[in-house]
Copies of this chain bind each other. A is one copy, B any other.
């Protein structure tokens, strides 16, 4: 197929590619929160013209990583510790709403079967001994669980808003997955999270809206605890969490 020589294989347009590139720089800390993005030098550095750069920046503003300055131009958004906590809270509240609506309005059997299958698959990534987890598989399945949960609400709007709330990388359900980190509490948290996955699905199946909502909210607290640990107890882990570079001390 692609016989055409594209120096940039990944994306089609300069703007699209620039979104990715800028996002990487922002999340990687190369462009810290509060940085003003001057169009001319930045365009030169990226070897594109100002037009696609502005397009890319406006998309990143939609994404919440940049904000428009009052006098024009864009600035890298800056988050405080409290902002991170609150962003996670909102994600939990919205996922809770998705879970509650799913319970109240009911879900199609196929959708229920599908998310139950994800939970079952998640069971499979835990080894015999506590602490044994296939992180890669867990991470992927966890993302799928959260995506399907949002969809269970049966509401495109709710689904979209949940997705949006999780777009801030440190607020995402996969913000901090222990990976190879050798901290017992982190590893244990995966077991707890999985138990909550199960309970949420169960509550939705039983049409227990309030319980489903409360469980989903509590579920988001795991992310909060992990982030709090990273930010307050062991800041050496900051670089392991995408987007935490945006958080000002």
Binding site for B on A (CB under 8 A): 51, 54-55, 58-59, 61-62, 82-83, 86-87, 89-90, 93-94, 97, 101, 155-158, 161, 165
Contacts and interface: CB of A to CB of B under 8 A. Distances in A.
A18 to B, nearest CB: 14
A59 B58 CA distance: 8
A13 to B, nearest CB: 8
A94 B87 CA distance: 12
A82 B153 CA distance: 12
Nearest to A72: B13
Among A83, A90, A94, the one with the most B-chain Cβ atoms within 10 Å of its Cβ is: A90
B161 A90 contact: yes
Given A61-B62, A82-B155, 11 more contacts: A54-B55, A58-B59, A58-B61, A62-B62, A83-B155, A83-B157, A89-B97, A90-B94, A90-B97, A90-B161, A93-B93
Contacts of A59: 58
Contacts of A97: 89-90, 93
A43 B122 CA distance: 52
B158 A86 contact: yes
A8 B155 CA distance: 41
Contacts of A94: 90, 93
A202 to B, nearest CB: 23
A87 B158 CA distance: 8
A184 B89 CA distance: 40
A101 B82 CA distance: 13
Contacts of A87: 157
Contacts of A82: 155
A158 B58 contact: no
A96 B81 CA distance: 22
A61 B87 CA distance: 22
A157 B86 CA distance: 6
A230 to B, nearest CB: 19
